[in-house]
Amino acid sequence: MSEPLPAVDESTLYLVRHGDARQDKVKRYIGQIDLPLNAVGRSQIFALQRTLDEIDFGRIYSSDLSRCLETARIIAGPLGKNISTDPNLREIALGEWEGQPMASIRERFPQEYTRRGREMVDFSPPGGESFRDLQTRVIPAFLQIIRRASGTVLLVAHAGVNRTILCHVLGLPLDELFQVPQAFGCFNIIERRSEQLTVKTINQVGGHL
């Protein structure tokens, strides 16, 4: 049974990227590998929590990966809130490239590495997804959340997921997604008025509002 539409047909969605979860200084392909926040990442999200502390989030949604769920729990604060998780909000799946150093992939698979840079939207690593696949998975989940929500809601996800959502709302082609900045621990604001979606803020970090 579907949820009833809200009485007030508008909502504001805070779209957050999780904090830093890198476990070393090596540049790696990190997609759906499940990493916790590191110490810097937790500091970033506590700063964000202080920035968003007075906002009353009626609902909180999150990717079910640890770095996002921990981010959502910190922002929810000491009182805690029910957090709805959705695997459709996970980062792009990178298949056999997951966790591998970028330099190693470039050396071992030079043609595939070059092709991914040239055909970013449609190239899939072995066993993984393309960014078009990611878009197909993420956008319906995002639209269900924002269309059914009323008031102010929080959605915690990943850089690739957030960029895909922002490109959709801004009407940008998917091959421009890396032109949309998404720092660790940043937030974006998307407003909905009936069916109209508007991006109000992009890539704002904790300490500023």
Among the options 3, 10, 54, 91, which is catalytic? Answer: 91
* Token pair listed for 76: 């929810």
* Catalytic site residue from 3, 10, 18, 168: 18
Residue 182 φ then ψ, to 5° = -145, 90
169 C-beta neighbours (distance < 10 Å), count: 20
- 147 phi/psi in degrees, rounded to 5: -75, -30
Based on the residue annotation, tell me whether 168 is a catalytic residue of this protein. no
Q: Active-site residue 119, yes or no?
A: no
Q: Catalytic residue positions?
A: 18, 91
